[in-house]
Amino acid sequence: MNTPLTALVRPPAATFLQALSRHKKQVPIDFPLSLRQHRFYVETLVSLGVKVDVLEPLDAFPDSTFIEDNAIILDDMALLTSMSATSRRGETLQLKAAMERHYKVEILEPPVFVDGGDVLQVGSKIFVGQSTRTNSLAVEAIAKFTRRPVVPIAVNGALHLKSAVSCLTGELLLIDPEKLDPAPFEDHSWIEVAHGESNAANCLTINGTVLMPSGYPETRALVEKRGLEVRAMPVSEFEKADGGLTCLSILIPKRT
């Protein structure tokens, strides 16, 4: 069966203003603007050929729009994550039925803790960020479901691994060296975000087009210099809650 690249997304909950944030003193989230930015995100994915499955908002979970954290897609199955943020536990089970439409699903449980934002698949390797959200038990737990190498990587300066590194293409990464030591990626090529443009590191490449948060012109120019098409995406309201472009979807690869 041929299926297109599919994205599962969840619009911001009515409670989104209470989302977790590591920088509390800033301007509060503008909720109507967050809804518009989310709609634009969905429209952009659709314009790039993605089939988007828009799930119900979950008002009991202020951070539930950051759906990436709820699951890890391996080759032929999905793992629902075990989240350490207490206000986010329970989000994952809300995804089970939608995920079962695509994959056989397994569920990770404490004492394993892992957020999907800490899992980056590059070539055959699965990198697992060791962050405040994801522990070393997650590495062994994921390894039980795959033959691919599962590689732990220290994350000290960012909430999640994918806040500091993205795959621009199968061969080229974008890294914020102020937040992440690039050494574990020595088998790969990478470019570094421009100084002062840390949030640009969380990009999402869809069918060859790089979606980059808007407001990071120097990094955009560096990526375009590599011959890649870039679209700037307004995600200011999600950045206020430490989220970005990858966090807003779970991508289910196309199958032929």
Q: How far is the CB of 93 from ligand CIR (least distance, A)?
A: 17
DSSP-assigned beta bridge partners for residue 230: 210
Is 247 one of the catalytic residues? Answer: yes
Is 188 one of the catalytic residues? Answer: no
Compare residues 154 and 221 and give the one whose CB is closer to ligand CIR.
154
Q: How far is the CB of 63 from ligand CIR (least distance, A)?
A: 4
* Binds ligand CIR by CB under 6 A, chosen from 119, 241, 245, 250: 241
CB 150 within 8 A of CB 128: yes
Catalytic residue among 38, 160, 167, 203: 160
Q: Please, which residues have CB within 8 angstroms of residue 186's CB and are 6 or more apart in sequence?
A: none
Which residue's CB atom is positioned nearest to ligand CIR? Answer: 117
- CA nearest 134: which of 116, 147, 158, 107? 116
Which spans in the chain are helix H? 31-47, 96-100, 137-143, 217-225, 236-239
**Helix, strand, coil shares of the chain as percentages rounded to 5?**
30, 25, 45
Contact set for ligand CIR, span 204-233 (CB under 6 A)? none
Contact set for ligand CIR, span 61-90 (CB under 6 A)? 63, 66, 68-69, 85, 88
Q: How far is the CB of 43 from ligand CIR (least distance, A)?
A: 21
* Binds ligand CIR by CB under 6 A, chosen from 58, 64, 242, 252: 242
Contact set for ligand CIR, span 36-65 (CB under 6 A)? 63
Tell me the site size for ligand CIR, rule CB under 6 A.
17
Catalytic residue among 38, 167, 203, 247: 247
CB 198 within 8 A of CB 220: no
What are the Cα distances from residue 238, in Å, to 53, 79, 174, 178, 211?
20, 25, 20, 21, 15
Catalog residues that contact ligand CIR under the rule CB under 6 A. Answer: 19-20, 63, 66, 68-69, 85, 88, 117, 159-160, 162-163, 241-243, 247
Annotated catalytic residues are 160, 247
